Amino acid sequence: MSARILVAEDDEKQSRLIRIYLEREGNAVQVVADGRAALERARSAKPDLIVLDVMLPLVDGLDVCRILRAESDVPILLLTARTTEEDMLLGLDLGADDYLTKPYSPRELTARVRALLRRSRKAVGSAEPAVLRVGAVELDTARFEVRVAGQPVALTAKEFAILEALAREPGRVFTRAQIIERVFGFDHDVQERTVDAHVMNLRRKLEADPGRPRHLETVYGRGYRLNDGPGSASS
């Protein structure tokens, strides 16, 4: 599964290693060493995926992620030396699809890249495009578009995948483990808090009052569901 991949990493040794492993997979890899160059190359080259270090000169990697997510749905894998939960969730909140903490195995990095590419292509190239409507929420799986009460909502690839999984069986309660299986697969160990972070971000985008969600509901002790009726607010 070859792809055009942009690597933004200012550590020359790390970027060389990443390039070697990704090119072994048959990918075309471009490398930049600062955030400004990452923005320029992402806009001009239109890569299929971006591997983005958080600690970049000129423009911080988190700012690069935020800017690019406002412009594109390109999958973004963050590389970070920050290991606190707040820092990790911040990257997801800004639109990253996945993250790796340093030090990491190059083999794990290539596995996560494969998984992100596979999910991205499945979302874009579904053999049976469909428009899913659940209450006021509408998903166009062919165009990768979401509307709530007719208003467009911009989602990341991972957020869209979670919402689509829930929308295909409205009213059904999905446990976090079931969401991980359907959206993340078995490529690597995903913690349940990652699902919670994506759900929190989805609520900010879908709900008029994220503290009292009417679309994406919590069923205490069970998991999450996309409400297919008027329902009652839960958090």
Query: Any idea what DSSP says for residue 184?
Result: I
**How many Å is the Cα radius of gyration of the chain?**
18
- In 3D space, the residue among 80, 71, 72, 75 whose CA is nearest the CA of residue 121 turns out to be 75
Enumerate helices (H) and strands (E) in the chain, giving the number of each.
8, 11
Taking the CA atoms of residue 164, residue 94, residue 83 and residue 33 in that order, the dihedral angle to the nearest 10 degrees is: 120
100-108 long-range contacts, Cβ below 8 Å, gap at least 24? 104/79, 106/17, 106/18, 106/20, 106/21, 107/21, 108/188
Per-residue pLDDT of the chain (235 residues; tens, 9 = 90+): 578 999 999 999 999 999 999 998 888 999 999 999 999 999 998 899 999 999 999 999 999 999 999 888 899 999 988 766 676 677 788 888 888 888 889 999 999 898 888 877 765 554 444 688 898 999 988 788 999 999 999 998 889 989 998 998 888 899 988 888 778 765 456 678 888 999 999 999 999 998 899 999 999 889 999 987 654 444 4
User: How far is it, in rounded angstroms, from Cα 88 to Cα 124?
Assistant: 27
User: How far is it, in rounded angstroms, from Cα 159 to Cα 196?
Assistant: 11
What are the pLDDT digits (tens) for 12-47?
Answer: 999 999 999 999 888 899 999 999 999 999 999 889
In the chain the first and final C-alpha atoms are separated, in Å, by: 40
* pLDDT confidence of residue 126: 44
User: How far is it, in rounded angstroms, from Cα 61 to Cα 156?
Assistant: 17
User: How far is it, in rounded angstroms, from Cα 51 to Cα 62?
Assistant: 12
Residue 230: is the preceding peptide bond cis (ω within 30°)?
no
User: How far is it, in rounded angstroms, from Cα 56 to Cα 48?
Assistant: 21
Residue with tokens 């409205």: 170
* pLDDT confidence of residue 123: 57
* pLDDT confidence of residue 223: 92
Tokens of 32: 């930049």
- In 3D space, the residue among 99, 116, 126 whose CA is nearest the CA of residue 157 turns out to be 116
Q: What are phi and psi of 42, to 5 degrees?
A: -60, -40
Beta pairing, strands 131-134 & 49-53: unpaired
User: How far is it, in rounded angstroms, from Cα 117 to Cα 166?
Assistant: 21
* pLDDT confidence of residue 185: 63
Partner residues linked to 32 by β-bridges: 8
